[in-house]
Amino acid sequence: MRGKQVELESLWEEVREVSLGNSVDRLHSSPTPLQFLRDFVSQNKPCLISNAISHWPALSLWPTPSYLSTSLSSSLVSLHLTPNGQADALAPHPLHPSLCFVSAHVQPTAFPRALDLIRQPPNHLVAYLQQQNDCFRTEYGELESDCDDHIPWASEALGCLPEAVNLWIGNHLSETSFHKDHYENLYAVVSGEKHFLLLPPTDVHRMYIWDYPAARYSYSEESGEFLLELEEPERRVPWCSVDPYPATGSAEQERSKFPLYFNGPKPFEVTVKAGEILYFSEVLGGMVQTKYVVSSR
């Protein structure tokens, strides 16, 4: 059995060396549409691009909280609240024998108040502006002139404009668990940084994607307490079972439970800093250490 495992690990490494290399490519300027399509999109290969959004006013304006609060003073935004910063992730349910797939409590909140909760989080909750479904153009319209409405070289290579543009604002407590995306992503960081773990789609078998009952947090502002409730009627969500950063006390148990992940090739790791864009498509990924970001996908 050990011999077969060694052969499998060797095959994984060879596939990576031939198709993906051993790290995420870094470009110091925007690629041409042809280069982007040929070297990255067609090969399903991630890359990190510097100096592609240096002309955006957002880079100098958005790091100032007062600018954002003033620009969005009358805007209601979708604020996601959790007790620990882990939304769309697996968590134990006190009345259920197994883990659940947990979504955040979402409430419309005046943007200045939302930003205050993100910048100075209370001890009992983590606030994250992580709405999807084109939220930048629906909830943050006052900021649209601060950045381009699309990335020209990417739009030309892909043959379309972005279907959705999202703005996500969080802090160092915000995390996103391992998951699989089914679309092209251009992830631009305006302020702060975001750390990614990426796996190629050929590694999907290493993620132990199982079905979990769906649950959702509800939050009471009066008591400051969260309640975790199973969805009714029951809904099951296929989700990655692997936590790449298991707690110290459970590390050995996690390694023995998910050997294909922990004994296989390491994920690609990349930290996207202000002014940089990360491209990835059809990959499995997770990320931590979120600060102010604008995500276009």
pTM, full prediction: 0.88
pLDDT, one tens digit per residue, over 47-69 is 999 999 999 999 999 999 999 99
Are 70 and 161 spatial neighbours (Cβ–Cβ below 8 Å)?
A: no
Across the beta sheet with 277-281, what order do the strands follow?
25-27, 47-49, 277-281, 184-188, 292-296, 165-169
User: Given a cut of 90, is residue 125 above it in pLDDT?
Assistant: yes
Closest Cα partner for 182 from 297, 34, 77?
297
Closest Cα partner for 78 from 113, 110, 108, 114?
108
The pair of structure tokens assigned to 65 is 């909280």
Q: What's the CATH fold of domain 1-291?
A: Jelly Rolls (2.60.120)
The domain locations on the chain are 1-291
**Euclidean distance between CA atoms 106 and 78, whole angstroms:** 6
**Euclidean distance between CA atoms 173 and 243, whole angstroms:** 16
pLDDT, one tens digit per residue, over 218-266 is 999 889 899 999 999 999 999 999 998 888 888 899 999 999 999 888 8
